[in-house]
Structure 1
Amino acid sequence: MSAVGVVAAAGSGSRLGADRPKALVELAGRPLVAWAVETLLAGGVDEVVVTVPAAERAAFAAALPGRVQLVEGGATRTASVRAGLAAAGPGADVVLVHDAARPLTPPDVVARVLAALAAGAPAVVPVLPVVDTTVVVDDGGLVADAVPRARLRRVQTPQGFDRATLLAAYAGLPEGVELTDDAAVVRAAGVPVATVDGDERAAKVTVPHDLHLAGLQVAR
């Protein structure tokens, strides 16, 4: 089974307070995107495509191995993933879509996703249990209900898919529709999504505090 990884890295760093795309912000001296690509390759992915802002292509090329293919991303995550899928070579059987903003995802998570795909799952996501009390609030900000959390999960990346299944799901997604992740795209097409264990180290870097916590992990 051959796997291609698509890394979504075309987003801005506005919430991170950065003056560059978030994927180029450094963690322990290396851009976030370099960590994410390394994770995919170490976990068993054969080919990696990174979607980048057109104006920053040279900076991404300097930060990544020559074997990584760069493609211009779109204005939205959905558009960027479409571009990454279109640029991937024809030989891969499965696709893993990963966020550059999850730099410390262990390769073991990648391997678990690949193993589930090899066992026949058409789509699979890594998940973690919800440990905090979760509530519903009304329009006035008052707690209206508490949500039972036993069956709730936090979804991480990389998310893995049978390639033909993901391509068909994106082809059937109406133009202009934006979903939260790729698992939502295939679920909208009626495809069941399996789960494997995620990892707390795969936390997403969104705000400066997240980057600080990631730096503490690297320093351990």
Structure 2
Amino acid sequence: MDDADRGPWDDVPRGLGVVLDEDRGALPYELIHGEALVACAAWGLGDAGVDLVDGGVSWAAVVESGRDVVLHDALCPMTPPDFIDACLQRARESDHPVVGTRPVTDTVKVVSDGVVGQTLDRDSLVAVASPLVIPAAVLASLPRRPASDLARAVADLEAAGHPVEALQAPPEGRRVSSPDDVRLLAALTQRPA
């Protein structure tokens, strides 16, 4: 490859990817298109050009690598690799964490002292999906491994003074919460024969 063919990220080390499946019960092992959700999430990272980190690697070693980290929720198994890559590139451009989100479609009410109150404007809300990309410089400043719940990890990052940018994930990047959701996602992502 000559210099004219090189992209802006060709000299940047590949990101490291962690598939989050802990504290999710058995759902990450449900099948979609004949494969476990957790396997599909791992393949998505690989197809995005991210090196998957083995579960036996210590968090300290991940931080010491000096590489950007992509946390990918096993319950967002069909997140397109190009979206994962776009989040990684945006985090590199901004030097801020970036998270994939989806619009909120449910009605959300305020509850105070057990009393249901006003309806929130869902246009001002987002649902955290996947991935969460943490640039290496931000990662090095964290006192501990981010929470495996990405919404909690985003809140923790923002509380620590690291603004998190949200990018809207495509519909196939939605998070599943039940076997029924897996069937819906399978129908949404079915490839034509």
Where on the TM-score scale, by shorter chain, does this alignment land: which range? 0.7 to 0.9
Query: Aligned pair 1:7/2:19, yes or no?
Result: yes
Gaps of 5+ in 1: 14-20, 50-68, 73-82
Alpha-carbon separation, structure 2, partners of 1:32 and 1:172: 23
- Does the aligned pair in 2 maintain the 1:121–1:194 contact within 8 Å? no
What is the match of residue 27 of structure 2? 22
- Please list, as runs of the form range in 1=range in 2, the aligned pairs for 1:77-116 lying within 5 A after superposition: 83=58, 85-88=59-62, 90-116=64-90
What is the match of residue 185 of structure 2? 214
Gaps of 5+ in 2: 1-11
Say what the alpha-carbon RMSD is for the aligned residues: 2.8
Alpha-carbon separation, structure 2, partners of 1:25 and 1:150: 31
Alpha-carbon separation, structure 2, partners of 1:168 and 1:219: 41
One-letter amino acid of the structure 1 residue matched with residue 125 of structure 2: L
1:25: Cα distance to partner? Answer: 2.5
TM-score (norm 1): 0.69
Report the number of matched residues. 178
What is the DSSP-based 3-state SS (H/G/I as helix, E as strand, rest coil) of the residue aligned with 1:181?
A: helix
Match among 42, 48, 56 for residue 52 of structure 2? 48
What is the match of residue 127 of structure 1? 101
1:86: Cα distance to partner? Answer: 3.2
- Does the aligned pair in 1 maintain the 2:63–2:140 contact within 8 Å? no
Alpha-carbon separation, structure 1, partners of 2:161 and 2:99: 16
Match among 143, 146, 163 for residue 119 of structure 2? 146
Alpha-carbon separation, structure 2, partners of 1:8 and 1:122: 21
Residues 138 and 199 of structure 1: is their aligned pair in 2 closer, same or farther, counting only changes over 3 Å? same
Residues 157 and 172 of structure 1: is their aligned pair in 2 closer, same or farther, counting only changes over 3 Å? closer
Alpha-carbon separation, structure 1, partners of 2:157 and 2:122: 24
Task: State which drifts further: 97-106 or 202-211.
Answer: 202-211
Match among 23, 30, 39 for residue 34 of structure 1? 39
